[in-house]
């Protein structure tokens, strides 16, 4: 039987609260945190994940729902580049950013 992992959907009043919640979940041992586009009261979930990637080491970060159409392609590429850099810096073999499905 496959191992089951539990992730938590983040809903916060602002980006700072969302970041604090992600850090708290990692300290408690949760393997994943998920956000949608409106999870931080309109804050940008990708920017919150960029900050979380620099402040956490083990928790996987999933977007659940992210609207790509209003984003400029260069901005999306910059976010992905930052995520890859953070993952390489931490030498974490597990993918930390899971835009579709965490394995």
Residues with Cβ < 8 Å from 8, sequence gap 6 or more?
Answer: 25, 30, 32, 33, 34
Q: What backbone phi and psi angles, to 5 degrees, belong to 32?
A: -150, 150
Burial 28-61 (b: 16+ CB within 10 A, else e): eebbbbbbbbebbeebbbbbbbbbbbeebeebbb
Asked whether the whole model's pTM tops 0.85, one would answer: no
Per residue in 5-50, pLDDT tens? 788 999 888 889 999 999 999 999 999 999 887 777 767 788 888 8
Query: Which band of pLDDT confidence, cut at 50, 70 and 90, is reported for residue 103?
Result: very low
Instruction: Decide if 15 contacts 40 (C-beta within 8 A).
Output: yes
């Amino acid at each position: 039987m496959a191992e089951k992992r539990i992730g938590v959907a983040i809903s916060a009043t602002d980006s700072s609260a969302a970041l604090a919640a992600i850090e708290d979940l990692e300290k408690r041992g949760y393997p994943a945190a998920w956000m949608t586009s409106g999870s931080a009261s309109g804050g940008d979930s990708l920017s919150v994940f960029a900050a979380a990637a620099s402040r956490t080491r083990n928790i996987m970060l999933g977007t659940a729902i992210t609207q790509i159409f209003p984003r400029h392609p260069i901005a999306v590429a910059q976010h992905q580049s930052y995520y890859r850099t953070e993952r390489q810096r931490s030498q974490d073999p597990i993918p930390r950013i899971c835009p579709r499905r965490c394995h």
